[in-house]
């Protein structure tokens, strides 16, 4: 017979060890406050010192973030939150910790009082768990819950969570983030979300209109730009077969530089900083549209521009600058139509300020058909094989695919020093009977050109 006292002692010991190893042990929270001066200028204070957010959206490549002058990172949810907060604290970064509220477009019903109550209870536990972490900067209550929604009751749920945060955690402000800026939504936030301290706005090509639009809606609190970067895939020119034309890495770098100076740093009266998107890599429309890095962690030219902006210093080594790519003599803004099995050629023009030897890598990829919304996970289309790709310096030849349809020719340029440049050109392989003036390819070609 087992000794029940001994078993009880073992149980208590095990329970205490479990608590010791699973409960976070944080030092005292660092207070973060918001103040408005007599001239109506808003300032974020951390530990009683002004704190302007120079942030990155993502939790990877933290050493690189620190080296280019970033001081904060943003998450969208609480996955690995403890590890991320600890890593940020170790590197002197703060965290805008996202609380991922469920979306109507994913099937959540904000008229279901019990489900809304459960969500609030869940986040109450999260707030209790992380509220004293010294790396915590603010709470992000939801991200783009307004995307394709119809039930505006979601804003009452947002406010209830923000109110709970204020009751549980007096040291950190609350924020909610919308997809772009809409006058009606801004007014809903004013009416239904008084517990929200900072308005977070995800915006891309429309960044230049934010400051003026906010003021016309009578928004009376500060804001941050919580996602920004290149032109969005919904904001650009399309080919005649209706796929978006992506900016090159160098074109994006120019827009990062100009937009930051004009529209983020340019509104220090109300804007408390920003989080650039995406500090990492992801497939969203293409493999390169939003990421500032590639899959191996190599950085693009936009990162160099951020370093210049945030540190005022010139990077020691910079990414290649890509000035032109042509496929069969046509550029990415053209509608490039190709016969199946035809021989294709492309040429690129690029420079490297450091004189690094450049390596050119070309791929032909199917146009993505797994297009989602709001950053939902997308599958990356595979690169085609068997096209006889032959590279020589900055040029390439290959045989066009047999199958009719949309493709992209990708170019990646590597400098061997941790950087890369990229561009892709959409092209369409015509049907096999195009030469006889038949088939859908020829019809839309004639109608559109």
**pLDDT tens by residue, 292-319:** 999 999 999 999 999 999 999 999 999 9
**pLDDT tens by residue, 64-117:** 999 999 999 999 999 999 999 999 999 999 999 999 999 999 999 999 999 999
Residue 391: the pLDDT is 97
List all residues 6 or more positions away from 40 whose beta carbon is below 8 Å from its beta carbon.
Answer: 269
409: β partners: 364, 425
**CA-CA-CA-CA dihedral for 116, 121, 123, 128, to nearest 10:** 160
Range of lowest pLDDT (57-71, 112-126, 322-336, 366-380): 366-380
List all residues 6 or more positions away from 115 whose beta carbon is below 8 Å from its beta carbon.
Answer: 102, 108, 109
Residue 26 banded pLDDT, cuts 50, 70, 90: low
Q: For residue 15, is pLDDT > 80? A: no
How much is the average pLDDT of 121-150?
A: 98
DSSP 28-89: PPPPEEEEE-TT--EEEEETTEE--EEEEESSS-HHHHHHTT--EEE-SS-TTHHHHHHHHH
Measured CA to CA in angstroms, residue 276 lies from 11, 58, 211, 280, 310 at distances of: 49, 9, 17, 11, 12
Residue 437: the pLDDT is 44
DSSP 418: S
Rounded Cα distance, 423 and 409, in Å: 8
Residue 433: the pLDDT is 66
The alpha helices in 217-287, defined as continuous H runs, are 249-259
Share of the chain above pLDDT 90, in %: 88
Residue 434: the pLDDT is 56
- Spatial strand order of the sheet with 336-338 comes to 336-338, 420-429, 405-414, 359-366
Return the axis-axis angle of helices 154-168 and 183-192, rounded to nearest 10°.
50
Residue 227: the pLDDT is 98
Q: For residue 265, is pLDDT > 60? A: yes
Q: For residue 16, is pLDDT > 70? A: no
Rounded Cα distance, 265 and 31, in Å: 24
- Structure tokens that stand for 110 in this block: 């904000």
Residue 393: the pLDDT is 96
C-beta of residue 103 within 8 angstroms of C-beta of residue 143 = no
Residue 336: the pLDDT is 98
Spell out a b/e string for 48-76, using b for 16 or more CB atoms within 10 Å of the CB, else e.
eeebebbbbbbbebbebbeebebbbbbbb
Domains of the chain as residue ranges with CATH: 26-311 (3.20.20.80), 321-448 (2.60.40.10)
Q: For residue 8, is pLDDT > 70? A: no
How much is the average pLDDT of 373-384?
A: 91
Residue 373: the pLDDT is 86
C-beta of residue 225 within 8 angstroms of C-beta of residue 210 = yes
How much is the average pLDDT of 404-422?
A: 98
- Taking all residues of the chain, what is their mean pLDDT, rounded to a whole number? 92
Residue 374 banded pLDDT, cuts 50, 70, 90: confident
Rounded Cα distance, 413 and 318, in Å: 13
Q: For residue 250, is pLDDT > 50? A: yes
**pLDDT tens by residue, 209-237:** 999 999 999 999 999 999 999 999 999 99
Q: For residue 447, is pLDDT > 70? A: no
């Amino acid at each position: 017979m087992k000794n029940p006292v001994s078993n009880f002692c073992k149980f208590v010991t095990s329970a205490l060890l479990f608590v010791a190893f699973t409960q976070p042990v944080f030092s005292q929270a660092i207070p973060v406050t918001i103040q408005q001066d007599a001239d109506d200028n808003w300032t974020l204070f951390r530990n009683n010192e002004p704190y302007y957010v120079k942030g990155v959206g993502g939790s990877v490549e933290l050493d690189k973030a620190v080296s280019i002058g970033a001081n904060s990172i943003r998450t969208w949810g609480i996955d690995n939150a403890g590890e991320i907060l600890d890593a940020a604290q170790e590197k002197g970064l703060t965290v805008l910790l996202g609380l991922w509220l469920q979306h109507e477009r994913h099937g959540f019903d904000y008229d279901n009082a019990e489900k809304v109550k459960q969500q609030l209870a869940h986040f109450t536990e999260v707030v209790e768990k992380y509220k004293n972490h010294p790396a915590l900067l603010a709470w992000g209550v939801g991200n783009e819950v307004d995307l394709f929604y119809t039930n505006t009751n979601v804003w009452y749920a947002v406010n209830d969570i923000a109110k709970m945060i204020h009751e549980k955690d007096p040291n950190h402000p609350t924020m909610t983030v919308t997809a772009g800026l809409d006058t009606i939504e801004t007014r809903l936030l004013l009416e239904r979300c008084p517990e929200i301290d900072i308005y977070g706005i995800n915006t891309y090509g429309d960044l230049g209109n934010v400051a003026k639009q906010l003021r016309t809606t009578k928004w009376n609190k500060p804001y941050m730009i919580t996602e920004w970067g290149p032109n969005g895939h919904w904001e650009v020119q399309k080919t005649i077969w209706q796929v978006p034309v992506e900016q090159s890495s160098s074109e994006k770098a120019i827009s990062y530089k100009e937009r930051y100076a004009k529209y983020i740093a340019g509104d220090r009266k109300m804007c408390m900083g920003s989080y650039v998107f995406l500090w990492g890599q992801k497939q969203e429309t293409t493999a390169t549209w939003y990421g500032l890095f590639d899959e191996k962690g190599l950085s693009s030219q936009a990162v160099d521009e951020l370093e210049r902006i945030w540190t005022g210093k010139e990077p020691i080594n910079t990414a290649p600058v890509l000035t032109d790519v042509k496929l069969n003599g046509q550029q990415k803004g053209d509608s490039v139509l190709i016969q199946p099995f035809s021989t294709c050629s492309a040429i690129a023009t690029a420079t490297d300020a450091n004189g690094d030897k450049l390596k050119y890598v070309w791929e032909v990829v199917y146009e993505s058909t797994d297009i989602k919304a709001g950053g939902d996970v997308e599958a990356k289309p595979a690169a085609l094989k068997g096209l006889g790709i032959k590279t020589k310096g900055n040029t390439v030849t290959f045989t066009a695919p047999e199958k009719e349809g949309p493709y992209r020719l990708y170019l990646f340029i590597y400098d061997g020093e941790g950087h890369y440049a990229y561009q892709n050109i959409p092209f369409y392989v015509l049907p096999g009977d195009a030469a006889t003036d038949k088939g859908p390819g020829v019809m839309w070609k004639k109608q559109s050109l």
